[in-house]
Amino acid sequence: MTNGSQEVRVKRAYEAPEQDDGTRVLVDRLWPRGLTKATADIDEWRKDVAPSTELRKWYHHDPALCEEFTRRYHSELREAPRPDALAHLRELAKGGTLTLLTATNQPEISGAEVLAEVLRR
């Protein structure tokens, strides 16, 4: 999705990096299992913008809870320190393509996708 000259994407952290990924930022609270930092090709790890541990455990990527998860995560994004982290991601997106990375098997219903939608506005 493009907003002016910026594009915010969501990918699995395990997917091979592509030349047009731009800045690659991991937005999960936990480091992806089995992925080494040396081979991850991640520019930044912003766990401070990720959903809280409590919200992540409650949600557990259950599609039936996606709408409520999104509502709760939007609320968390207004709590410190997330607004500062969100502002930083907005600045990165202004500079070109921003790829948000997550370890989940279902990135389309992840916190990274919710975050991407917020940044695309």
Distance CA 17, CA 12 (A): 10
Domain count, the chain: 1
- CB distance 70 to 115 below 8 Å: no
pLDDT means per 10 residues in the chain (121 residues)? 68 94 97 90 95 96 96 96 95 95 96 96 90
| pLDDT score at 31 | 96
pLDDT at 117: 96
pTM as predicted: 0.92
Contacts of 104 (CB under 8 A, 6+ apart): 12, 28, 61, 110, 112
Give residue-wise pLDDT tens across range 35-63.
998 888 999 999 999 999 999 999 999 99
Using DSSP bridges, classify how beta strands 6-12 and 2-3 pair: parallel, antiparallel or unpaired: antiparallel
- Whether residue 81 is preceded by a cis peptide bond, meaning omega within 30 degrees of 0, is yes
Q: How many CB atoms lie within 10 A of CB 118?
A: 17
Q: Which domain holds residue 87?
A: 2-33+41-120
